């Protein structure tokens, strides 16, 4: 199957312009993001994206209740854990856990210990 895929003309064209290592790294980060998005159910994801579109990048355009709901949904995604895990996987040198996940006792550190 892989041999057939590598022979297709669009894969050959793409492979000339995009280094394979970079493509693999982007895929790995996308898989990490998908894992974090799966922490929300379908209705929560839809509501998060609806609020994101309504805000147009400006939190002031949401009501106070919508802002609280948006912060709750983003908090459920555990963004610091996502960024810390992505940096740890992509960095060629070891990065201290304190920089990636915060101080001892932080929410991201607790989520990391729950995951492993």
Cβ count within 10 A of residue 112: 20
Mean pLDDT over the full length of the chain: 77
Name, in order, each residue with C-beta under 8 angstroms of 16's C-beta and a sequence gap of 6 or more: none
pTM for the model stands at: 0.62
pLDDT digits (tens, 9 = 90+) for 3-48: 555 566 666 665 666 677 777 778 888 888 888 888 888 998 899 8
User: CA-to-CA distance for 67 and 105, rounded, in angstroms?
Assistant: 26
- The count of other CB atoms within 10 Å of the CB of residue 57 is 7
Contact call for residues 47 and 11 (beta carbons, < 8 A): no
- Measured at the CA of 49, the angle between CA 43 and CA 52, to 5 degrees, comes to 140
CA 79 vs CA 63, 95, 109: distances in Å: 23, 18, 12
């Amino acid at each position: 199957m892989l041999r057939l895929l590598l022979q297709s003309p669009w894969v050959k064209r793409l492979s000339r312009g995009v280094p394979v290592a970079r493509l693999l790294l982007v895929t790995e980060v996308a898989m990490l993001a998908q894992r974090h998005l799966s922490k929300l159910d379908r209705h929560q994801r839809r509501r998060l994206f609806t609020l994101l579109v309504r805000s147009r990048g400006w939190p002031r355009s949401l009501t106070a209740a919508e802002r609280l709901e948006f912060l709750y949904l983003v908090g459920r995604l555990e963004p610091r854990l996502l960024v810390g895990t992505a940096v740890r996987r992509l960095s060629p040198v070891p990065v201290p856990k304190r920089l990636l996940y915060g101080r001892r006792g932080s929410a991201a550190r607790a989520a990391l210990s729950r995951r492993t």
